[in-house]
Amino acid sequence: MEYKIISKSEKDTIELAQNLESEKFPNMIICLNGELGSGKTVFTKGFGNALGIKENITSPTFNIIKEYDGELPLYHMDVYRLDGNSEDSLIEDYFTKGGVVIIEWANTIKEILPKERLEIKIKVAGENSRILLITPYGKAYEELCEAVL
């Protein structure tokens, strides 16, 4: 099942992220896809702030992975620069480290993503409006969506 959420502002996107964070669990995988400037990092900031992370969360474009300490560790990835080549990246090691993994441009590494995950596609629908298409893969993610969407 796919859920469609309309966000009319950054605040709406942050609130959605905070609602999803309220149902977090260890080894949670959130895959974000959308064009440049669509709000992937805004979503991650909202989620991270709800986790209690005080640091300023920025896109890890050049680092690929940034780690933050919160209620659960947050592993924020931007895999755009990998251009589909995830060999030697150690990304898969993070999927079972007990934290929450949020991956920007996740479609570029689709072949190594876990079967169970939450995919969010963000489409620009106006200057401040976004359409978020949320697809849960696996029972835990289906229950998460039923609880908060």
pLDDT, one tens digit per residue, over 120-136 is: 999 999 999 999 999 99
pTM above threshold 0.85:
yes
pLDDT tens per residue across span 87-112: 556 899 999 999 999 999 999 999 99
CB proximity list for 34: less than 8 A, separation 6 or greater: 40, 121, 122, 123, 124, 130
pLDDT averaged over the chain?
93
CATH number of 3-148: 3.40.50.300
Residue 76 has pLDDT above 80, yes or no: yes
* Token pair of 94 as six digits: 């993070």
Q: How far is CA 84 from CA 87, 102, 109, in A?
A: 9, 17, 5
- Report the alpha-carbon distance of residue 32 to residue 121 in Å, rounded: 6
